[in-house]
């Protein structure tokens, strides 16, 4: 089972919105690498929900509940959506500052490719971030 990290700006869609909605279609991705990552997602995969810009941090865990499908807002058919549902909030947020301060996370895509909005997370990185979150 693959693991992921998906970034959102709090003004666009927050963790609280995902909890209230129970699930959502992840839309608006217009980067080829991020879209390729979404196409690689499989039902049951898990990912970190990451708040960007203001107090950037990993907040919770989501599960992919529907694999990539055409984005109905894209008339050219290049882009996709996936459906995700919340699994659980992390016991404590893991800030970007804390992630960048840990040399073991130096090759995490979040650190190396800061503008990428959807990225894979290795099992080792997942375990380390979970430990940092107190989980």
CATH number of the domain bearing residue 125: 3.10.590.10
Residue 11: predicted pLDDT:
82
Backbone torsion region of residue 39, taken as left when φ is above 0, otherwise alpha when ψ lies between -120 and 50, otherwise beta: alpha
pLDDT tens track for 63-93:
999 999 999 999 998 999 999 999 999 999 9
By DSSP bridging, strand 3-8 and strand 46-51 are: parallel
CA triple 54-64-58, angle to 5 deg? 25
pLDDT tens track for 36-59:
999 999 999 999 999 999 899 999
Q: What is the pTM of this model?
A: 0.95
Structural domain of residue 83, as residue ranges?
A: 3-132
Number of domains in the chain: 1
Q: What is the mean pLDDT of residues 8-21?
A: 92
């Amino acid at each position: 089972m693959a693991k992921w990290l998906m970034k959102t700006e709090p003004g666009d869609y927050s963790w609280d919105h995902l909890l209230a909605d129970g699930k959502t279609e992840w839309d608006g991705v217009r980067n080829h690498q991020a879209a390729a990552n979404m196409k690689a997602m499989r039902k049951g995969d898990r990912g970190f929900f990451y708040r960007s810009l203001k107090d950037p941090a990993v907040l919770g865990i989501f599960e992919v509940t529907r694999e990539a499908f055409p984005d109905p807002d894209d008339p050219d058919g290049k882009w996709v959506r996936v459906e995700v549902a919340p699994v659980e909030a992390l016991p404590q947020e893991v800030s970007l500052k804390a992630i960048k301060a840990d040399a073991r996370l130096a090759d995490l895509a979040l650190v190396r490719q800061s503008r990428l909005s959807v990225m894979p997370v290795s099992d080792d990185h997942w375990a380390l971030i979970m430990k940092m979150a107190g989980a």
